[in-house]
Chains A and B, each alone.
Chain A
Amino acid sequence: MRSSKECRIAIVIDHCEGTLSHIFDEAMVRYFSGLPCVVSCYQDDNLSSPRRLEKLVAKLRKGKADRAVIVGGSPKRYEASFRRLDLGTGFNPYMFLVANVREQAVWTIPDVERAKEKTKTIVAKRIREATCLSPIGEEKFELSKNAIVLGGGVVGMRAALALADANIQVTLLSRAKDIGGKAIQLTHFYDRPGEVSSWFKDQVKKVKKHPNIAVKTSVELKGLEGSLGDYRVKVEDPSGKRREVEGSAVILAMGNDVIPNTEGIFGHQRFISPPQMEAMLADGGKSLVTDKERPLQTVTFILDLVNETIKIDSANAIKNAILLRENHDRAVYVICRDVKVSLDGMEKQYRKAREMGVIFIKYDDPPKFSLVNGQINVEVKEVSIQMRGDDYSLSILSDLVVVSERFVPSKDNQMLADVLGIPLAEEGFLMDENPQFARVRTNRRGVFIAGGCRYPQTLDESLVEAEAAAAGVTELLSQGFFGYDLAVAEIDPAKCAACLTCPRVCPHSAIVVERYAEGNVYVTGGYEKDFRWKAARVLPMQCYGCGICVSSCPTKAITLKHLTDDEISLQVGV
């Protein structure tokens, strides 16, 4: 806090388009002008306009004041304009404080005289607080237009293409020998009739040919370091050689892993996985008829034994059930807890399937399976029958039973989560920062997630995410630099006890503990030599200024530049 003598405060009255004029009468203006440190007083009718604010700043610069308190509406009204003020040459935007008398007095206290009294109290407090202000600078650093996409599945490919088309150099890393991922197994999309493999092959070709995309396959992910503008992915090739790939931003698109259900009876050859079903249909259904023992007449899909909250299985089963009825005239049963039809157009597909004779059976108790003369007997209690009070099971003799594979997080998820400090969602998928605001952004600036590693969902949904993630990266990199003001947390290394609380609590992984922080020199009376120890440091470009670290630090070593403890203390007093 500066001694209040040095502060020269300008009061700026915003009449908010005349709505507050009855409050700001002569007596009130006199009161404001008489408050300590106030050297000038300006009035305006609408300061929320950036142009008016700029004019005001020009006036302020000519005057004596070095800081200003705007008396008017909510700070939200002015902040967008503040941000547009030229930080370098103008009046520093952090030298403004807003006394929100409109919302907090005039509009909420019906009695005008009382509202005036409250206005006085609020402004007086703000004036005191204004003595704590200090200018906050800004910094920027260059961002090269390159990005890393991890995962060569359909999502990674789409993201890479979108970035490459936006003139961003992309390194596409994939663990598999070739790019393509799991979607290669698909032959049909439920909402895109016709062959998809040609569309798919085309995508692969485009990626490989694009001059802005470098594809590196057969690489194992070993680590990820850095921050926006300087991410480094460590990979290892099959020969064990390690190297680093650099990029300004990263899109994680490693998909999810699947575990086929092969335990016990599920290991029997008549139990197959959805991709196997897909493959059987891909060859025009030849494998459906060439089975030597007996034709595959009855096909039963079993859903919801695993992946209960994921809707892909439902979509897949309905899609293939229709094909089996439509093209091959097979008897088809879908046994599930719930048919999930929330996908675009799925409702219609479900109806179509029913109309074509696909029989849906809902269960509460998982079905039982047994072998009967080479066929699979699926025994299930249908919910509606149970509700009627009857307790018999349906018995479905099936030639083929399609059982879902369990969707599990990619094995790299945990490692990436640890390295980045991104929290994992419950099932172990990478969590997005906040589902309401940004689905594909993570808590780390410059790291985005899309597709199955975020959460397993259908291809269309995943592709939308791929594009959103690519758009996020493009937006960040488009200007060629990242500018940020230093309204962030700052640690005094001399006070830091390296307790590791702040790096643990920071939701944006913006704090590092450095071996020998610059300037981290502690000298006390009685000791000639410098004392050095580890200290924490905030990476300003990663910090979102939430202040969680500040209030968690046991040694009060951290300051939030735009809202110091002193400022809060002044506000809580009378």
Chain B
Amino acid sequence: MIKAEQKPVDEILDFLKPHRKILLAGCNACVAVCHAGGEKEVGILSSALKMARKKAGQKIEILEDCSTRQCEPEFVQELKEKAEEVEAVLSIACGVGVQTVARMFSDIPVYPGLNTTFMGETDELGVWIERCQACGNCVLHVTGGVCPVARCAKQLLNGPCGGSQDGECEIGNDVPCAWQQIYDRLKTIGQLHRMEEIIPVKKWGRESRDKGPRTISREDLKL
């Protein structure tokens, strides 16, 4: 799912400079799974920050907590008591969680401790790869389950560019050409004819951000 990695400690230390007591809030969902923002990382980061500040002769007090999912207001609400005690919150959830915290605790600064990087899958323990860019109009049924938006350097939607060589993308670095993968997959599953289907250009609007943040609204679920 959402993959992230921790910001360098010195960067975090920099924006925490003005504060003497903070809440370090992790999230036990996606970012825990990629070992960036779960309870364990809360402990590690907290320890590192405290040591650094002690060394600088400017001690910092850190309250620790870890939400079930920081992108849910009810779960973030559980942090309220601690948040009221501190000058600022350092969130090591993904960018979404950071914003939920900022919205819920509107009168104190909230800082991100992670760089939210992409949506991806686990290749092996400790290695994650980008797989989807949330384009808003999935074409995986046409492309044999390989996403051209996330995996082709040029995000080409209708076949490879001229740079595809021996299965590799022209950008090098051993990156496989997504369109070669699409072709191979379609061939294996006997759907090569799909290569001829034209995928139209992405529509501005639902598939992009010119109307502001995209919103999904399910009338049947709303309270």
Q: A and B touching (C-beta < 8 Å)?
A: yes
Chain A residues near B (Cβ < 8 Å)? 495, 497-501, 504-505, 522, 524-527, 553-556
A-B contact count (CB 8 A): 46
- 8 nearest A-B pairs in the assembled complex, by CB-CB distance: A554-B38, A526-B74, A499-B33, A556-B39, A554-B32, A555-B38, A504-B125, A554-B40
Q: Is B185 at the interface (CB under 8 A from chain A)?
A: no
Residues of the A chain whose Cβ atoms lie less than 8 Å from the Cβ of B33: 497-499, 554
Distance to closest chain B CB from A460 (angstroms): 40
| Cross-chain contact A554 with B78 (CB below 8 angstroms) | no
Is there contact, CB below 8 Å, between B41 and A554? Answer: yes
Q: Is the CB of B125 within 8 A of A497?
A: no
B21 within 8 Å of A by Cβ?
no
Residues of B within 8 A of A (CB): 28-29, 32-33, 35, 38-41, 43, 66, 68, 74-75, 77-78, 122, 125
Q: Give the chain B neighbours of A527 by CB distance below 8 A.
A: 74
Q: Which residues of B contact A499 (CB under 8 A)?
A: 32-33, 35
- Assuming the contacts A500-B122, A555-B38, A556-B40, asked whether A524 and B78 have C-beta atoms less than 8 A apart, the reply is yes
Give complex CA distance A504, B74 in Å: 32
Cβ contact within 8 Å between A525 and B74: yes
Find B38's partner among A497, A505, A524 (CB 8 Å cutoff). Answer: A497
Q: Whole-angstrom distance between the alpha carbons of A522 and B78 in the complex?
A: 15
Distance, CA A554 to CA B29, complexed state (A): 10
Nearest residue in A to B35 (C-beta to C-beta)?
Answer: A554
Is there an interface contact between A501 and B35, defined as CB atoms closer than 8 Å?
A: yes
8 Å CB contact of B40 from A522, A526, A553: A553
B32 touches A555 (CB 8 A): yes
Are B28 and A497 within 8 A (Cβ)?
A: yes
Nearest CB on A from B29, distance (A): 7
- Bound complex: CA of A495 vs CA of B32, how far in Å? 11
Q: Is A555 a contact partner of B39 (Cβ separation < 8 A)?
A: yes
Cβ contacts under 8 Å, A526 to chain B:
74, 77
How far is B41's CA from A499's CA once the two chains are assembled, in angstroms?
Answer: 14
Residue ID in chain B nearest A556 by CB atoms? B39
Question: Could you pull out 15 A-B pairs where Cβ atoms are within 8 angstroms?
Answer: A495-B28, A498-B33, A499-B33, A500-B122, A505-B125, A524-B68, A524-B74, A524-B75, A525-B74, A526-B74, A554-B32, A554-B40, A554-B41, A556-B40, A556-B43
Least distance between B69 CB and chain A CB atoms (Å): 10
Chain B contacts for A524, CB-based, 8 A = 68, 74-75, 78
From residue B210, how far is it (CB to closest CB) to chain A in Å? Answer: 35
Interface centre among B28, B29, B74, B75 (most CB of A within 10 A): B28
Least distance between A57 CB and chain B CB atoms (Å): 38
Cβ of B66: which chain A residues have Cβ within 8 Å of it?
555
Considering the chains assembled together, what is the distance between the CA atoms of A527 and B73 in angstroms? 12
CB distance from B170 to the nearest CB of A (A): 34
Given A522-B68, A525-B74, output 13 extra A-B contacts at Cβ < 8 Å: A495-B28, A495-B39, A497-B28, A497-B38, A499-B32, A499-B33, A501-B35, A501-B125, A524-B75, A525-B77, A526-B74, A554-B35, A555-B39
A495 cross-chain contacts in B, Cβ below 8 A: 28, 39
